[in-house]
Amino acid sequence: MKDTNFIGPVPCYTRKLYGRFRWQIILRGPDPVPLLQGLPLRGWIVEVDPPSLL
C-alpha cells in the first residue's frame, strides 16, 4: 500500500475519556481498510472517516 500514509500514534486532543487513555493512528489513502484486516484489534475503537480529528 505505497499510496497510504501512516501517522501516529499520537495522543488525542482529549487524552482521557471515561477513565481510558486515547490515542490516534491515522491511515490516509485510497483504501486503508486492508491494512487493518487480520490485526488483533480487541478493545480498540476504529472510526472510518471521522467527522473531526479533535
Q: What is the pLDDT of residues 8-51, one digit of tens each?
A: 888 888 888 888 888 888 888 888 788 888 888 888 887 777 77
Helix runs in the chain, H state only = 33-36
Parallel/antiparallel/unpaired status of strands 5-17 and 20-28 = antiparallel
Q: Which residue has the cell 500514509?
A: 5
Report field, pTM of the whole predicted structure over 0.75: no
- Residue 54: pLDDT band (50, 70, 90) is low
Query: What pLDDT score was predicted for residue 27?
Result: 85
Among residues 43, 47, 23, 44, which one has the least CA distance to residue 33? 47
